[in-house]
Amino acid sequence: ANTEVISGSGEVLGGYHGNDSFIPLLPSDFNFGSDSSRTHGVYTADDGATSRVANASSNMYASKIIPNGFTATGVRVNCSVTLAGAVTPHDASITDDSINDHTAGATNADVAFSGTDPVGDGERYVIVEFNPAATSNEIQGGKIIISRT
């Protein structure tokens, strides 16, 4: 059963840290990549305001759990440039190694899940994949868009 917390003024509190429309993604949330060598990791060139990769052939990933009582409906990655097909949403569960791939979209735009939107059950999470075209492509942040189920 879902438990809703009601503020003293009658406002329903819930979602991700009280936000019921999106889960924020900080540049530092894209903290793992598809390159297994230590020299091609994710780094910042501006005191943490953005993140980037040392090797443009390495993708960057962020993941967040979907809160109970919510459904993830899309993702967004804000980037220093607009790149078509550079953002791919996935969803998975902490109970096994299966993953659902969804259709890729552009940076700086909302990308909807293709197929079935993942529903938060305490175990299901969203993975946001960013495929840079160059090492100068900086992630400025993003979000996972959610709605009450």
Whole-angstrom distance, CA of residue 105 vs CA of residue 116 = 16
- Dihedral sign, CA of 45, 48, 51, 55? positive
Q: What 3-state DSSP class applies to 40?
A: helix
| pLDDT tens-digit series, residues 60-100 | 999 999 999 899 999 999 999 999 999 999 999 999 999 99
The reported pLDDT for the residue numbered 1 is: 44
Q: What 3-state DSSP class applies to 49?
A: coil
- Vertex 16: Cα angle to 75 and 101 (nearest 5): 30
Average confidence score pLDDT of the chain: 88
Residue pointed to by tokens 């550079």: 86
